[in-house]
Amino acid sequence: METETILQQMTVEEKAALVSGTNFMYTNPIPRLAVPSLRMADGPHGLRIQKEGGDNGISESEPATSFPTAATTASSWNPGNTRKMGEAIAAECRFYGVHTLLGPGVNIKRNPLCGRNFEYFSEDPLLAGVMGAAEVNGVQSKGVGVSVKHFALNNSENYRFMGNSVASERTMRKLYLKPFEYIVKHAHPATLMCAYNQINGTFCSENKWLLTDVLRKEWGFDGVVMTDWGAVHDRVAGLKAGLDLEMPGDTAICRRRILDGIHDGTLPAEALDSACRNILNWIDRYVQPADPKPVDWDAHHALAAEIAEDSAVLLKNDGVLPLSGSEKLHIAGELFRNMRYQGAGSSMIHPTKVTTPKDAFDAHGVKSAALEESDTVLIFAGLTDEYESEGCDREHMRLPENQLKEIDALLAGGKKTVVVLFGGSPVELPFADRVDAILNMYLPGQNGGTAVYDLLFGKKNPSGKLAETWPMRYEDVPSCVTFGKGINEIYAEGTEVGYRYYNKHNVPVRFPFGFGLSYTTFEHSEWTKDGNTCTQTVTNTGDRYGGEVAQLFINGELKGFEKVYLLPGESRKVTITIEEEPEIEYPDTYVVPKEPPRYPVTVESRFTDLNQTFLGRILYNAVLSVVKKQMKQAEKLPDGPEKDNAIKGAYFMKRIMDSNSPRSLSMCAGDRMPYNFAEGFAELTNGHLFRGIRCFMKKIDVPKLPKEEQNA
């Protein structure tokens, strides 16, 4: 049946069910009208799909290819990479019967300490938009939808569930909304995922200006707007603002409020119908049977290495690289054997296999002799999962202290030294002037070891360019004093983020935006401009094949780029057409609100705020006991990837619990923690024993779901 026909035949109860998810990753089916369930899965750089009957934790997922993260792929400055990656992920989605992929994440990297920066592309909106649009087009070209996230101003983790991003309209329009606008207009994503946070005092999930005025009316978006998992506050206000789907759903309170709103007229029927119409169109377009065609997992493993090789950034080279193979090497650093290849959090993938640098070196017969007998030292360093994860922001921009001590000790020997870095974000590099070469791999995916070997030994030529500035020290970052410190996140620096700030104020940086060395050399002609068209000739003046990026900046902002691959002596003309933008002056003011009090506790308080009272501490520890049990179980597992992922999952859940709110927790937990439990948590913490007990005893009555009616 057509969408309008189905819509006319649906009951209010069926509509209330359709705009709510179920079983964590599905939409609600309407069996009476043959409306199937649509299945979703994380994530931006590879599929994290729960095993049937799993606990929706991080570790219990099906094998899939762990591709390089967005922090890595953006450094390739080649949208062809994210397009190919998107196509490959879509093939794995089809194999497992997933209809929509939750990604890519395109939020601007405002501050290098954001714990989720590894999932985001760039500090620049054009680069983020172009790379994100290519991934969207790649996925959707294979019949799988995407959910571009997190819309909008979701640029930190510590207070993401309740934080208030305070920014002027000019700041939002010129920077933070730009990548989303580009993707909506150039790639037409199936869905957008609205973020947890508030924008100037209104939560994204009920922000009409954001979801309707800008997204739909100005940009022409005609897909589905869904929440991040647990981001609903006032469900009726959300529907009226343009929010279609609540995820993960199974919340009795939200269905109750929808039904009551329709009954008493506070929720217009057309608002509910509009959401149902968008969801039905999405289901009609993307729900299709699983593809029985086997996935070429080996080809995807090889593609992961190919993309990592094109994305790696050679930050320094005093002639020691590439290695000839005749060097006497001493290899050090924990990440040689235990390569960090992906981030920690909801996008953590169960890889089909992992090739570490040690695996690749062993396969090619490369050995490590003792330090005193060596002439060259390779140090594998970087951020570990304890330092960088979804759910919390980093505390500082330094490498782990044990790694810094090891590097200092090895440098004391006076050998040629190469540092290979892993991690999703910039770090301070106090040793940069004392080492001979630095190769930055970011988070290269499951086949990162192959990429490392090929790049170090010159089988491939590094051609990545930084998609973000690497400051000398964290104190040089414009938002360093206030970032991640409280519920109100004030965007006082406006659009002066990343290279816009450092260039304008002449602040020295360790490595600038767009920087990256090569094993060959290139020459760029001056840009010539004819109307909106700019041209430049790039020539490979060295003796190796390699890639180079032509970068067009106008008035200090990146306006276009193109990556070319050239043989020695080869030249190529690059032509970039600048997209015209309307000259609109947006207000550049904002109002700084007062910080809400930590006490009394409300359903919107940070979960750690429960610790302010005796009863609150009991409740907090009762919830955290689940995580502690998960950690104990993980530690009992035999050594290997399964144990590593289980431990990472437990750490992630601890971070999520701490930064969560009772309300958001209830919106994620369904009938395991209904909304009245969240209210009870607040009342008990505030010392209202009997009111708290009454909250726990309260029952929220709602009709059976359509799928339950069918079963009955």
What DSSP string describes 125-184? HHHHHHHHHHHHHHHHTTT-EEEEEEETT---STTTTT-EEE--HHHIIIIISHHHHHHH
To the nearest 10 degrees (0 to 180), the angle between helices 297-311 and 79-96 is 160
Residue 361, helix vs strand vs coil: helix
pLDDT score for 519: 98
Tokens representing 44 are 């931006």
Sign for the pseudo-dihedral over CA of 205, 134, 145, 40: negative
Where the chain has pLDDT below 70, the residues are: 52-59, 712
Residue 79, helix vs strand vs coil: helix
Average pLDDT, the chain: 95
Alpha carbon of 545 to those of 458, 516, 518, 568, 570: distances in Å?
Answer: 11, 16, 10, 6, 9
pLDDT score for 293: 85
pLDDT score for 712: 67
Tokens representing 186 are 């150039």
- Examine the residue annotation and report whether 124 is marked as an active-site residue of this protein: no
- Preceding amide of 322 cis, omega within 30: yes
Question: 470-471 and 509-511: which strand pairing?
Answer: antiparallel
pLDDT score for 53: 54
Interatomic CA distance for residues 67 and 356, integer angstroms: 14
Residue for token pair 């690289």: 321
Sign for the pseudo-dihedral over CA of 320, 322, 326, 329: positive
Which DSSP helix (H) or strand (E) runs through 518? Answer: none
- Preceding amide of 188 cis, omega within 30: no
pLDDT score for 143: 97
Interatomic CA distance for residues 20 and 249, integer angstroms: 5
Which residue is catalytic, options 42, 55, 213, 228?
Answer: 228
Residue for token pair 């290849």: 341
The torsion angle over the Cα atoms of residues 456, 460, 465 and 468, rounded to 10 degrees, is -50
Whether the full predicted model's pTM is greater than 0.95, yes or no, is yes
What pLDDT digit, counting tens, does each position of 498-552 carry?
Answer: 999 999 999 999 999 999 999 999 999 999 999 999 999 999 999 999 999 999 9
Sign for the pseudo-dihedral over CA of 618, 620, 625, 628: negative
To the nearest 10 degrees (0 to 180), the angle between helices 252-264 and 269-286 is 130
Tokens representing 676 are 């009245």
Tally Cβ neighbours within 10 Å of residue 631: 17
Sheet of 416-422: strand order equals 313-317, 437-440, 416-422, 376-382, 329-332
Q: SS3 letters for 554-600?
A: ECCEEEEEEEEEECCCCEEEEEEECCCCCCCCCCCCCCCCCCCCCCC
Tokens representing 295 are 């996935």
Give the distance, in angstroms, between the CA of residue 514 and the centroid of all CA atoms in the same chain. Answer: 21
Interatomic CA distance for residues 91 and 31, integer angstroms: 28
Interatomic CA distance for residues 324 and 327, integer angstroms: 7
Tokens representing 617 are 């501490």
Q: Please compute, for residue 250, the number of CA atoms within 13 A of its CA located in the half-sphere on the CB side.
A: 17
Which DSSP helix (H) or strand (E) runs through 110? Answer: none
Which DSSP helix (H) or strand (E) runs through 524? Answer: strand 522-524
pLDDT score for 711: 74
Interatomic CA distance for residues 597 and 86, integer angstroms: 44
296-321 in b/e form (b: 16+ CB < 10 A) is: eeeebbebbbbbbbbbbbbbbbeebb
The torsion angle over the Cα atoms of residues 447, 346, 144 and 210, rounded to 10 degrees, is -130
Tokens representing 298 are 């080996």
Interatomic CA distance for residues 598 and 589, integer angstroms: 27
Burial of 96 (0-12, 13-18, 19+ CB in 10 A): middle
Q: Where are the alpha helices (DSSP H) in 10-165?
A: 12-18, 70-73, 79-96, 125-140
Q: Please compute, for residue 421, the number of CA atoms within 13 A of its CA located in the half-sphere on the CB side.
A: 26
pLDDT score for 59: 57
pLDDT cut 70: percent of the chain above it: 99
DSSP letter at 204?
A: G
